[in-house]
Structure 1
Amino acid sequence: MTEAADIPSVLNDHLVAALNTISAATLTHQLQMRGIRSTFLSGLRALHPEKRMVGRARTLRYVALREDQQPRLAGGLNAQKRVVESIQPGDVLVIEARGVPDAGTIGDIFVTRLVALGGAGIVTDGALRDTPAIADIGVPVYHQASHGSTYGRHHMPYSVDDSVTCAGVFVMAGDVIVGDAEGAVVIPAALVEDVVRDALAQEEKETFALEKVAEGQPTLDLFPLAKERLPEFGAWKASRDAQEGGQK
């Protein structure tokens, strides 16, 4: 198992602040523009749609239950316990549960511990257990279902910080996970700075387009923004920047 301290984090205060303003949809689009099509974690619901989530991915992989291996894999200091106890501030726990909806993958006790260690959120393509209690804890969580059983109904905890497939997306420990009300997206660590730069520029152009459409203008040369409208956009941006600068 890779030690948590050995997993690089590309995040800094500037990137976290920026990612907390950029929609998951914009980030997904930027990754599509780079040829990476499968980054949005499909089929998951946000337990707290009003909360944002940004953090370094830590991974937990569950495998299918096999009774002769259950004592070895599920007992003692198993993978679930190891990953929770190794959480560092800003980590998001990403759980591969094979899309199984009718067995819990994490409950309120382990979530409480994750939050106490500074964890930033949880993503599971399986079920939460103790969902009402986890909702009260307040941490951002993305999950497929809720179920009252423990993981032992269908799962065995198998590995920590291996690459996993969660909700159809390949996730590596150290990737960046961003969540909003729409859902969560995985950004490859090596691309984060470029994606943030271009995503901020994209959202600025979309804000301009939205304002003009709201005024009654057609979308034809606004979305996407036509070359002919770039001078107008530049003037709009300069005025907006000056206003924001004057408010600081």
Structure 2
Amino acid sequence: MTNFKRPPKELVGEFRRLFTGCVSDAMNKGGAMCSAIKPLIEQVKVAGPALTVWTYPGDITTLVKAIDIAQKGDILVVDGRGFTEAAIWGELLTRSAILRGIEAVIIDGAVRDTTDIRKLRYPVFARAAVPCDGTMGFLGNINVPIQCGGIQVNPGDVVLGDDDGVVVVPQGQAKEVLEYAKNIAEAEVKIKDLIEKGKTVGEILNIDKVLEELAKKKPAQLEVK
């Protein structure tokens, strides 16, 4: 499948202004890929629709094709089955992705040529790095539901990545999650302002009352005073 419904560019742009923590919080601490999926470069922030790739462990064949059918701004999300003993991404595919305008690449598997990729400042997220190259010769699939970093990803889902990791927002929930995440971000700005004025986080969140309620085995919730 080469075509799929993508979220509006304006919506993706608004997500790009947020960090992954806010968005995961807005999904009740959900949507975050496992901690092993990390960026090769620092100070990175990306957002875009998922173009999903399922590939045989250690095989790059389907990835090569996925780059050619991707649209500008897409994020390649690759289910490499978590296999880390052969790289399915490297410098040459990175240069090809840059040529196509692909926003980022997220791989549940291994990469190589990390020094060269870092020099290019291209956002690649992966589980591991390894010198051994992958194979070519096994048939995978493009734009099908996949698992990546322990999270289900469907074509067109909104994907965000930064220094902390990767979060996936189902396309059908994107507008609702965005509004909630923006509210969380605004609340954090208020908390930062109160800290600058001399209050501790404990004072702002009324931690003594929370501890008192917990001691009584009552439900307690952190709220900004």
What TM-score comes out, normalization by structure 2 length?
Answer: 0.84
The amino acid across from 1:152 in the alignment is T
CA shift in 2, pair 1:140/1:64, >3 Å: closer
Root mean square deviation, CA, Å: 2.3
Cα distance between partner residues in 1 of 2:49 and 2:21: 19
Residue 122 of structure 2 corresponds to: 139
- For the residue of structure 2 that corresponds to 1:104, the secondary structure is coil
Q: Does 1:210 align with 2:202?
A: no
Give the counterpart of 1:58 among 51, 57, 63: 51
**Is the 8 Å Cα contact of residues 205 and 225 (structure 1) preserved in structure 2?**
no
Give the counterpart of 1:11 among 4, 8, 11: 8
**Is the 8 Å Cα contact of residues 52 and 145 (structure 2) preserved in structure 1?**
yes
The amino acid across from 2:110 in the alignment is A
Please identify, of 140-149 and 212-221, the stretch whose mean Cα deviation from structure 2 is larger.
212-221
Q: 1:11 offset after TM fit, Å?
A: 2.9
Q: 1:157 offset after TM fit, Å?
A: 5.0
Q: Does 1:181 align with 2:163?
A: yes
- For the residue of structure 1 that corresponds to 2:56, the secondary structure is strand
CA shift in 2, pair 1:64/1:179, >3 Å: closer
The amino acid across from 1:225 in the alignment is E
Residue 220 of structure 1 corresponds to: 205
- For the residue of structure 1 that corresponds to 2:92, the secondary structure is helix
Cα distance between partner residues in 2 of 1:11 and 1:180: 21
- Write out per-residue CA displacement over residues 189-243 of structure 1, whole angstroms, 9 at most, x where no aligned residue: 11111111111111111221232234124133498435xx4xxxxxxxxxxxxxx
Percent identity between matched residues is 21
**Is the 8 Å Cα contact of residues 178 and 184 (structure 1) preserved in structure 2?**
yes
1:42-81 → structure 2 map (5 Å cutoff): 42=34, 43-64=36-57, 78-81=61-64
**Is the 8 Å Cα contact of residues 12 and 158 (structure 2) preserved in structure 1?**
no
1:85-164 → structure 2 map (5 Å cutoff): 85-152=68-135, 156-164=138-146
Cα distance between partner residues in 2 of 1:149 and 1:84: 21
Cα distance between partner residues in 2 of 1:157 and 1:176: 26
**Is the 8 Å Cα contact of residues 105 and 126 (structure 1) preserved in structure 2?**
yes
Q: 1:17 offset after TM fit, Å?
A: 3.1
Unaligned runs of 5+ in 2: 208-220
**Is the 8 Å Cα contact of residues 57 and 83 (structure 2) preserved in structure 1?**
no
What TM-score comes out, normalization by structure 1 length?
Answer: 0.76
- For the residue of structure 1 that corresponds to 2:102, the secondary structure is coil
**Is the 8 Å Cα contact of residues 91 and 121 (structure 1) preserved in structure 2?**
yes
Please identify, of 208-217 and 126-135, the stretch whose mean Cα deviation from structure 2 is larger.
208-217
Unaligned runs of 5+ in 1: 66-72, 230-248
**Is the 8 Å Cα contact of residues 64 and 156 (structure 1) preserved in structure 2?**
no
**Is the 8 Å Cα contact of residues 13 and 47 (structure 2) preserved in structure 1?**
no
The amino acid across from 1:7 in the alignment is F
Equivalenced residue count is: 208
Cα distance between partner residues in 2 of 1:134 and 1:206: 34
Q: 1:112 offset after TM fit, Å?
A: 0.9
- Write out per-residue CA displacement over residues 58-92 of structure 1, whole angstroms, 9 at most, x where no aligned residue: 11112247xxxxxxx97xxx422221111111010
